[in-house]
């Protein structure tokens, strides 16, 4: 009877993963800031037979997140933690990303992710088992000029996750890094430009689940685009810039994983 925790679960990849794993005997622990959307995802998962617990929580609140994880683990035991919550960053005008946007992106995508991942490591080490998946991006390999903070945070998650994986391998705790390409999500719609090999969130969830089941070090997809992205890091800078010129990133109103907007009067989504 697996217990699976997913952050950023109210829409996009997080919601698709919740639906994918929902089944009788499975306990899903779902987190997002948008509680109404989160409850809608939870009801759909309950209809498939899963037991679902919801928590509206800002992943940037380290103390609150740590306490929540400890409570859930004590009551149920965490088998799989999928660290998915994130935002795009960038600049709606197409100009240079502002300091405020950059620091907010770092706070959510990197610090918020580690606020979930690191306490999970501690809890799982105490039991000698468990699995943690960090949702990064192919932008970790081929950074987007219009989203430097997003690209930087995803690269940091990749490096941190791979280092942790090696360190924890002999301790019974598995760490995987997921680097998707273009996925049709609310957050993804803010990218206006060429979106090669874009796939549905449901297909992305299936690929992620397969990769986690195989315990792949890096779950990268789609394969052709992933190969190009990983190869881009080896190119001379002039050629890399030339190859990235068509990847223009324009940030619109919806920049959150849970469908909430920047101007949501009720607060920020994560």
Name the residues annotated as catalytic: 150
Distances (CA, A) of 68 to 74, 111, 203: 10, 16, 30
Element (H, E) at 31: strand 27-32
Tell me the Cα Rg of the chain.
18
- H helix and E strand count, the chain: 9, 9
CA distance 86 to 104: 10
Instruction: Respond yes or no on whether the N-terminal peptide bond of residue 143 is cis (omega within 30° of 0).
Output: no
Other CB atoms closer than 10 Å to residue 216's CB: what's the count?
14
CA distance 114 to 157: 9
Residues 6+ apart with CB under 8 A from 256: 33, 34, 87, 186, 187, 262, 268, 269, 270
């Amino acid at each position: 009877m697996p217990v699976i925790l997913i952050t950023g679960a109210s829409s996009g990849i997080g919601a698709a993963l919740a639906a994918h794993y929902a089944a009788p005997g499975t306990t899903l622990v779902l987190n997002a800031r948008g509680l109404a959307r989160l409850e809608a995802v939870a009801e759909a998962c309950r209809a498939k037979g899963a037991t679902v617990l919801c928590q509206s929580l800002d992943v940037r609140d380290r103390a609150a997140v740590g306490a929540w994880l400890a409570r859930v683990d004590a009551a149920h035991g965490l088998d799989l933690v999928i660290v998915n919550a994130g935002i795009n960053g960038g600049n709606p005008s197409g100009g240079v990303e502002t300091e405020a946007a950059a620091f907010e992106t770092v706070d959510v995508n990197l610090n918020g992710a580690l606020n979930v991942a690191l306490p999970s490591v501690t809890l799982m080490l105490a039991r000698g088992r468990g699995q943690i998946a960090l949702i990064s991006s192919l932008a970790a390999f081929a950074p987007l000029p219009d989203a430097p903070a997003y690209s930087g945070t995803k690269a940091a998650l990749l490096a941190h996750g791979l280092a942790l994986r090696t360190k924890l391998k002999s301790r019974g705790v598995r760490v995987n890094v997921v680097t998707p390409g273009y996925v049709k999500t609310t957050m993804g719609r803010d990218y206006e430009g060429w979106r090669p090999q874009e796939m549905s969130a449901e297909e992305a969830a299936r690929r992620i689940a397969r990769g986690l089941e195989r315990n792949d070090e890096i779950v990268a997809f789609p394969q052709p685009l992933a190969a190009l992205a990983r190869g881009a890091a080896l190119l001379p800078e002039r050629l890399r810039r030339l190859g990235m010129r068509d990847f223009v990133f324009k940030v619109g109103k919806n920049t959150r994983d849970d469908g909430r907007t920047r101007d949501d009067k009720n607060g920020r989504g994560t």
